[in-house]
Structure formats: C-alpha cells, structure tokens
C-alpha cells in the first residue's frame, strides 16, 4: 500500500537516527561545540581581518539576542502559523521589566537570574493580554493588530516620562553576577557564555515543545483550524500558549539585552526589530529551530560586520562609485531584495523544516503526481 | 424495533436533539427537528440537496449555535441558544477593573507608588488565575458559568470531550502531517501532558507519548492502514484519506461517531469496504453512528433508523423498509407524480 516505516529510517543513516533518539542531548552538545569553536574560528584569516576577537565575541553575544528572538517568533509564526509583526513589543517589555527590577532608577536590585524568569513571565502575560482579544482575527488582520501593538508599546514607554525617563531611557541597569564569572562592559566573554547557555536551553525547549501534544496542536491549528477544533483541540488556548511562549522567549532576550547594554530606551524596540526578526525567521526556514538560528546569526553578522567590512574594503581599494556608498544605510533595501529573491527561488527558507517544504512545494508535487513511497524517501 | 424499545424501559439515548431550529436571517435552514440516537445504533440522515442536513450536522457538533431548541448528550444539555453569553467577558474583567479602579483611588489619596504597583499586580494575577482556571479545568469552568446562569452553547472541542467524533464531507486532514500525527492530534483530549510537561520532558509525558503512539498505530490498523503511519496524509490515496479521517475521529474514544458523507467520491469497492468498517465500529467498539449519506445502497444497507429532511423539516422517520415505501420521501426525491 505504502512505504513501510523501516524504509525511511534506513535512509536516514546512523548518526541522524542517534541525534533523533537523543534530541535534547544532541542540541546541548551542538551548542557547546558551536560555543566553543566560534571564538577560535574568528582568529583564522578571512575573519580576523574584519575585527579583533573580543569585538567578534561581543557581536556574537548580540547576535544571540536576535537568535533568541527568532526562536521565539518561530514558535508563533513557524509552528502556530500566526503572523506577528509587533514582536519587538515583548522584547521591550522584557527589557523594561529588568530595568525596573534591577537599576538605580527604581532602587530595586533583584539579581539577574530570577529576573530572567520574571521578564519572561511578564512578556508572556502581555502576550496573553494581546492574544486574548485578537485571536479571532486571522492572517492579515492579526498582522495589522500586532503591528499596532508593536508600535504602541514603545510609544507608551517613550511617553510615560515619569516612570521610564522617556527618550533618555533607564540607565545604570545592573549586570548579571556569578561567583565564577566576572561580568563587566569591557569583557564580552561572560555575556557570550551566558548567551550560549540560554540559547542551548531554549532550543531544547523548542524541540521538546515541537514534538509534544502542544506542538502537534499548534501544527494542527496552522493546517486546519476547524479540523483541529473538531479533534478536540481548544484552538483559543492553543494559540494563546503560542503567543505566551513566543513572547516569553522575547522577554528572556529583553532581560539579557538590557543587562548587556546597561541602558534601556524606547528607540531599541522599533518596527525595524520586529521586521528584522521576521526576516530572519523567513530566511532561515520557518519551523526549523536550527535553520532559524542560522538565519538570525547570518543576517545579524551581515548587517553588523560584513556591510561595514564592505565599506572599508571599497574605500581602501578605492573602487570608483562603490566607495561612496554606505552599505550599512542600505541594509533594509538589501533585506527586501533578499526576501524577494527568497520568495521566488526558495520560499521555504534556507534550512526549512521538512513539513514547510512539503507545504510550499505542494502544487508542483501534485502536478508531478509523485507516488507516496518516493515522496517519503525524498523528504 | 422502536416499539419493543419504548415498551420496555425508557430508551438509552446517546444523543437527543429537541426542536432544533436554525435561522439565517429570513431563511429557516432547519425547523423544529427532533432526532434521537439510541446507544449502539446506526442512524442515517438523508434528504435532497439543500435540505438542511449539513446545517443540522453543524449545529449538533457545535459549529453553529441553534436559534432555538437544544441538543442533549448523555442527558446533559450541551447545545442550545446562548443565554447571557455576553456576561462571560464581564465576569472575566470586572474584578480586575474594580481592583484597578480602587488602586487608582488609593494611589490618588495616599500617593505611594507601592500601592499602585501592588494593586496592578493583584489585578493582573487575578486575570491570569481566571485564564489558568479556564485552561486547566475547562469543564469545571463551564459548569461554574452555568451555575451563574450563563449558558454558552458547546464549542466543537467541547463536543469532542462529551464523546462525539466526526469526519468531514470534504476531507479535512492535516495534509502535511503524517498519518500517525493526524491520529495523535485526534487523541488530543485523551492525552494530558501540558506545556510544562513538554518543556521538562517529564517521565509521565514520555510514557504517555509512547502509549499514544502505540494506540495510534492500533487505530490505524483498525481502519486498515497498518504500516502507513509515516506517510504524509496528502500523499495517501483518496480512500485511505477517508479511512484516516475515521481513525483520527476515533482517537478521542468517542461514543458517537458522526460521519458526513463517508463514501462520497468512492468507487463501489471502496464503498463496500467503508460499509464493512462502519459495521465493525459498532460491533467491535460499541459505537453509535450518525451518518449523512447520499448513496442509498449504503443508507439502506446499514442503517437501523433513517431520518429524512426536506426543506429544513423532518418529513419521515423509520426503518429502511418503511422509508423506502414512504410516499412523502419518494415525493421529496422524485417530485409529485402528475395528477
């Protein structure tokens, strides 16, 4: 009738099977490897010409913030299929939560580690508050409401002068403290290590959610909401949980970012952030955690290192015309071009989940009428 | 059969629809329809196109709220015209708003920011607690609402909890998920791992996943799809997709299965297989079945009782033999004979 399961497992090979069987451990090992190797890779010539090692590591820690944001947005957009254009709002809420909880501005000095959870919880609460009235909306309409929310939150922080110091932002935000790691602004390594650890844990959580009852419910809601409801899935709470868990990840990112920069101000959370993170998710491959992480990392490094490097390079070599262009200013134009090119050439992203790939190549496959066993193997 | 049942103890109805009416503006799609399903029987609902079968079906699965009348499942009235449903959001938000207002008042009087922060936090946590209660104990929550005089017609997922499984007229599988995953989604109400279990990968959740996968394989085997668990639903042959829908509906261990044209678009052989399957569901699993069907061979072949709808009204009820000779039914399908 159709391909027996053994055929597919056989085709995936020993290592892949091992990774599948111990997903959490392999994710942790993967992050440990990446975290240990990256600081040394940048010592090798093509990378070492761009900037010094400590700058690279600081950049990696910053890119980690975006990877975290992308992983969270991936839950909302990639798994549950809810288009959220105001994701930076939750990032802002996490940041401000930490700034309120651990700065001289309020006089509170809660340590960083519990504040990570508090920030995540606060962002999740707002995720639910935003989600509850808007979840009847679908597609474009939901996107518009979230877009509005994403604009309102920074505007509130900007205008509530008395409580947030408006444009000046809240400075003097405390740094994390650990007995064996010394955190300060001049040394990015502790932040880098912390970020890798947070990312590893979050990624394990994402994979566990994906394969759980809740993860299946998210995918079911994305595929066919009525059928999901008729299978007993409470679509309202399922979508709210997607919002809440996605937002809580942004809250984590916000807390980390606030402590790393030492200052929180409304201009850090503009639409550009929401848009960039969405571009990262789409380019990386919706629904696939590693793909999304790589997409976020690549985009961040391109915007923060490669474009600057291009500027320097063309100025040094003195190429006519090109040396007058400031590539950093054109980064959004480049995103736009990249997204358009992506939609035309590879709509499922660079590293798609198998499921997304199936969805987006539905038409061509249906026309080609691929028999089931071949399709299963090809995946 | 009916006479025998009514003469003995009161019949054990699994579903009772009483005077169900659904109005769309001026159009009455379903008018005062009574329909009962005795536990363990196969009942068919037939009628010409546009007779209101699907509307009625959508009412009893909770997709549409009826204009009047109600549906009882196992003696409990689950579906009816909503009563004071608008009060539900009021109940949700009133305490939080009252606390917030009181806090603002206190703050204005005393001027201490701590009061404002505490009040705001209490209001927020109150809302969160309501939300958690609604998630964690949904049926208790609905029961509380009912006690407060708020009646909310059951939603499709609540009908699944009440023991109703359904399939769709146009196949609505989760096309890009595998057959096994489709059935696992169908088992959603039978699994209990929550988000926290999933995050921590508790032994409870892992054991449940293993058991669920085994049960899903069993269900696939039951409908004749053994070994296709890893095939993506979209890539399955048409007949298999129909079977997979039945397997998914069985995932919630329903007591009543609603099948909306289960043999639509099937060839005679697939139709015969499906009839065998439906019969087996009753004999092996003790299910009751409500069937909407156009294929008269199927209807006459397996039904214990047939309900005939025309223009939204019930025109006949009876055994296949009675329905076959009922002049009203013949008229509805073929038109009046020339005088």
> How distant is the Cα of A319 from the closest Cα of chain B, in angstroms?
50
Residue A4 — pLDDT band, cuts 50, 70, 90? very low
Has residue B11 been placed in a domain? yes
Mean pLDDT to the nearest integer, A278-289: 84
Give the pairing of strands B288-292 and B42-46: parallel
* Placement of tokens 């061979």 in the chain: B297
Are A216 and B184 in contact by the 8 Å Cβ rule? The answer is yes
pLDDT digit string, tens, across residues A211-223? 888 999 999 999 8
**Closest-CA residue in chain B for A241?**
B195
Q: For residue A321, how many other CB atoms are within 10 A of its CB?
A: 7
Which of A24, A233, A376 is opposite residue B201, by nearest beta carbon? A24
Q: Which domain-ending residue is among B253, B284, B319?
A: B253
Has residue B105 been placed in a domain? yes
Has residue B264 been placed in a domain? yes
Which of B161, B172, B227 is opposite residue A232, by nearest beta carbon? B161
A33, pLDDT greater than 80: yes
Has residue B236 been placed in a domain? yes
Share of chain A above pLDDT 70, in %: 90
Structure token digits, residue A298: 């690549």
The enclosing domain of B69 has a CATH number of 3.40.50.300
pLDDT of residue A356: 65
* Average pLDDT score over chain B: 84
CA distance A274 to A295: 15
Any CB–CB contact under 8 A between A368 and chain B? no
Query: Same structural domain for residues B112 and B137?
Result: yes
pLDDT of residue A362: 56
A72, pLDDT greater than 90: yes
Domains held by chain B: number? 3
**Interface pTM (ipTM) of the complex?**
0.82
Query: Same structural domain for residues B338 and B262?
Result: yes
Q: Which domain-ending residue is among B198, B222, B253?
A: B253
> How distant is the Cα of A128 from the closest Cα of chain B, in angstroms?
9
pLDDT of residue A359: 65
Cα→Cα distances B148→A313, B92, B143, Å: 73, 13, 9
Residue A360 — pLDDT band, cuts 50, 70, 90? low
CA distance B190 to B208: 10
* Average pLDDT score over chain A: 81
Residue A228 — pLDDT band, cuts 50, 70, 90? very high
CA distance A163 to A170: 9
Any CB–CB contact under 8 A between A231 and chain B? yes
Has residue B44 been placed in a domain? yes
pLDDT of residue B84: 78
Q: Would the CB atoms of B186 and A231 count as touching at under 8 Å?
A: yes
Which of A214, A230, A371 is opposite residue B61, by nearest beta carbon? A230
pLDDT of residue A68: 93
Query: Same structural domain for residues B57 and B113?
Result: no
Query: Same structural domain for residues B281 and B247?
Result: no
pLDDT of residue B43: 92
Q: Which residues of chain B have pLDDT under 70?
A: 1-9, 337, 339
Q: Would the CB atoms of B177 and A219 count as touching at under 8 Å?
A: yes
| More confident call, A17 vs A355 | A17
Which of B198, B232, B235 is opposite residue A209, by nearest beta carbon? B198
Q: For residue A311, how many other CB atoms are within 10 A of its CB?
A: 17
List the one residue out of B36, B42, B32, B46 whose CA is nearest residue B12.
B36
CA distance A134 to A287: 23
Buried-state track B64-101, b at ≥16 Cβ within 10 A, e below 16: bbbbebbbbbeeeebbbeeeeeeebeeebeeebeebbe
Q: Would the CB atoms of A233 and B185 count as touching at under 8 Å?
A: yes
pLDDT of residue A375: 38
Residue A2 — pLDDT band, cuts 50, 70, 90? very low
Has residue B46 been placed in a domain? yes
> How distant is the Cα of B191 from the closest Cα of chain A, in angstroms?
7
pLDDT of residue B154: 81
Phi-psi region of A8 (alpha: psi -120 to 50; beta: other; left: phi over 0): alpha
> How distant is the Cα of B113 from the closest Cα of chain A, in angstroms?
10
pLDDT of residue B325: 85
Sheet holding B27-38, edge to edge: B27-38, B13-24, B68-73, B76-80
Spell out which residues of chain A touch residue B185, defining contact as CB-CB under 8 Å.
216-217, 219-220, 228, 231, 233
pLDDT of residue B9: 65
Spell out which residues of chain A touch residue B260, defining contact as CB-CB under 8 Å.
none
Query: Same structural domain for residues B246 and B299?
Result: no
Any CB–CB contact under 8 A between A2 and chain B? yes
Query: Same structural domain for residues B95 and B117?
Result: yes
Query: Same structural domain for residues B129 and B115?
Result: yes
Structure token digits, residue B264: 């639509």
Sign of CA dihedral A158, A159, A160, A161: positive
Cα→Cα distances A168→A92, A154, B322, Å: 15, 13, 84
Query: Same structural domain for residues B260 and B327?
Result: yes
Q: Would the CB atoms of A214 and B138 count as touching at under 8 Å?
A: no
Has residue B319 been placed in a domain? yes
Q: Would the CB atoms of A226 and B172 count as touching at under 8 Å?
A: yes
The reported pTM is: 0.82
Has residue B291 been placed in a domain? yes
Query: Same structural domain for residues B72 and B91?
Result: no
Q: Would the CB atoms of A3 and B231 count as touching at under 8 Å?
A: yes
Query: Same structural domain for residues B216 and B192?
Result: yes
Structure token digits, residue B108: 């204005």
Q: Would the CB atoms of A208 and B252 count as touching at under 8 Å?
A: no
In which domain, by residue range, is B54 found? 1-79+156-163+255-339
Mean pLDDT to the nearest integer, A87-92: 92
List the one residue out of B22, B90, B86, B12 whose CA is nearest residue B51.
B22
CA angle B16-B18-B21, nearest 5°? Answer: 130
CA angle B24-B29-B34, nearest 5°? Answer: 125
A84, pLDDT greater than 60: yes
Query: Same structural domain for residues B243 and B184?
Result: yes
Give the pairing of strands B76-80 and B68-73: antiparallel
Q: Would the CB atoms of A208 and B199 count as touching at under 8 Å?
A: yes
Domains of chain A: 22-378 (1.10.3470)
pLDDT of residue B250: 92
A370, pLDDT greater than 60: no
Residue A372 — pLDDT band, cuts 50, 70, 90? very low
Q: For residue A35, how many other CB atoms are within 10 A of its CB?
A: 18
Spell out which residues of chain A touch residue B134, defining contact as CB-CB under 8 Å.
237
List the one residue out of B170, B209, B169, B168 whose CA is nearest residue B190.
B209
pLDDT digit string, tens, across residues B254-307? 999 999 888 888 888 888 888 898 988 888 888 999 999 888 888 888 889 999
Query: Same structural domain for residues B260 and B316?
Result: yes
């Amino acid at each position: 009738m159709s391909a027996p399961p053994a055929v597919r497992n056989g085709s995936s090979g020993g290592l892949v099977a091992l990774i599948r069987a111990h997903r959490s451990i392999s994710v942790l090992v993967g992050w440990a490897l990446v975290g240990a190797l990256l600081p040394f890779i940048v010592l090798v010539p093509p990378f070492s010409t761009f900037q010094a090692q400590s700058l690279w590591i600081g950049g990696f820690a910053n890119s980690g913030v975006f990877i975290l944001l992308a992983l969270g947005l991936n839950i909302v957009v990639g798994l549950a299929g809810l288009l959220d254009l105001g994701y930076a709002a939750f990032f802002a809420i996490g940041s401000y939560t930490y700034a309120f909880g651990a700065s001289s501005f309020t006089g509170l000095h809660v340590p960083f580690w519990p504040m990570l959870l508090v920030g995540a919880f606060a962002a999740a609460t707002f995720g639910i508050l935003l989600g509850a009235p808007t979840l009847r909306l679908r597609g474009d309409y939901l996107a518009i409401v979230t877009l509005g929310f994403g604009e309102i939150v920074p505007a509130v922080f900007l205008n509530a002068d008395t409580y947030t110091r408006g444009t000046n932002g809240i400075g003097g935000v405390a740094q994390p403290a650990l007995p064996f790691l010394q955190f300060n602004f001049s040394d990015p390594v502790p932040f880098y290590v912390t970020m890798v650890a947070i990312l590893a844990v979050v990624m394990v959580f994402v994979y566990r959610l994906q394969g759980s009852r809740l993860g299946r419910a998210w995918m079911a809601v994305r595929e066919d909401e009525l059928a999901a409801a008729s299978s007993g899935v409470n679509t309202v709470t399922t979508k709210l949980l997607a919002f809440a868990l996605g937002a809580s990840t942004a809250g984590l990112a916000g807390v980390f970012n606030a402590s790393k920069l030492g200052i929180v101000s409304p201009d850090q959370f503009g639409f550009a952030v929401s848009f960039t993170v969405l571009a990262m998710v789409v380019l990386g491959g919706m629904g696939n955690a590693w793909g999304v992480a790589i997409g976020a990392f690549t985009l961040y490094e391109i915007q923060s290192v490669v474009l600057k490097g291009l500027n320097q390079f063309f100025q040094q070599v003195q190429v006519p015309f090109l040396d007058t262009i400031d590539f950093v200013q054109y980064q959004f134009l480049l995103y736009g071009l990249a997204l358009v090119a992506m939609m035309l050439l590879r709509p499922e992203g660079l590293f798609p989940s198998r499921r997304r790939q199936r969805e987006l190549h539905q038409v061509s496959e249906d026309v080609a009428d691929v028999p089931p066993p071949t399709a299963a193997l090809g995946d | 059969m009916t006479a025998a049942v009514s003469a003995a103890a009161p019949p054990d109805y699994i579903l009772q629809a009483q005077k169900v009416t659904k109005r769309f503006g001026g159009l009455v799609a379903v008018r005062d329809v009574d329909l009962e399903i005795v536990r363990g029987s196969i009942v068919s609902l037939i009628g010409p196109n546009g007779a209101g079968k699907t509307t009625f079906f959508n009412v009893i699965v909770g997709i549409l709220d009826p204009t009047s009348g109600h549906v009882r499942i196992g003696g409990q009235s689950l579906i009816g015209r909503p009563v004071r449903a608008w009060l539900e959001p009021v109940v949700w938000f009133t305490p939080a708003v009252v606390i917030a207002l009181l806090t603002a008042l206190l703050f204005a009087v005393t001027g201490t920011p701590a009061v404002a922060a505490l009040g705001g936090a209490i209001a927020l946590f109150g809302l969160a607690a309501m939300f958690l209660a609604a998630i964690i104990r949904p049926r208790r929550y609905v029961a509380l609402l009912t006690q407060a005089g708020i009646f909310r017609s059951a939603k499709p997922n609540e009908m699944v909890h009440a023991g109703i499984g359904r399939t769709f007229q146009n196949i609505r599988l989760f096309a890009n998920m595998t057959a096994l995953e489709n059935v696992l989604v169908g088992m959603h109400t039978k699994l209990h791992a929550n988000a926290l279990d999933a995050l921590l990968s508790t032994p409870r959740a892992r054991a449940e996943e293993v058991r669920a996968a085994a049960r899903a394989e069993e269900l696939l085997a039951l409908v004749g799809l053994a070994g296709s668990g890893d095939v993506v639903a979209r890539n399955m042959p048409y007949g298999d997709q129909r079977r997979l829908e039945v397997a998914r509906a069985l995932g919630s261990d329903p007591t009543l299965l609603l099948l909306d044209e289960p043999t639509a678009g099937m060839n005679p052989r697939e139709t015969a297989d499906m009839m065998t399957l439906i019969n087996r569901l009753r004999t092996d699993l003790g299910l009751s079945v409500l069937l909407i069907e156009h294929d008269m061979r199927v209807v006459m072949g397996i039904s214990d009782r047939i309900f005939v709808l025309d223009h939204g009204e019930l025109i006949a009820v009876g055994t296949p033999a009675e329905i076959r000779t009922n002049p009203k039914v013949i008229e509805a399908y073929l038109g009046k004979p020339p005088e």
